[in-house]
Amino acid sequence: MAVDKNFKNFVKCICFKCPSHNICMKLRLQKVFCATGNSGCEVENEGCICAKCPVQKEYGLKELYYCKEKKGDNG
């Protein structure tokens, strides 16, 4: 199941706390990458907290670095 792009998930998302969430993403107010896909910003692997995110857990996702890669889909 794909992650819904909605306000509820935006609020629960913890991307802003991630060490890889950079100034480019902050200026664009980007988060919930598991729903939207990669950010379009250059991302350096500074650490990933996707595994701790309530959105990822709710949707049963297992990947990391959605900001660099692809949307989440557990099936």
Mean pLDDT in consecutive groups of 10 residues from the start of the chain, 75 residues:
92 97 96 93 95 96 89 60
Q: Within 10 A of 73 (CB to CB), how many other CB atoms are there?
A: 13
Dist. CA 40–CA 67, nearest whole Å: 8
Q: Which residue bears the tokens 């819904």? A: 4
6's CB contacts (< 8 A; 6+ apart) are none
Q: What is the pTM for the complete model shown? A: 0.86
Q: Within 10 A of 40 (CB to CB), how many other CB atoms are there?
A: 12
Is the Cβ–Cβ distance between 35 and 24 less than 8 Å? no
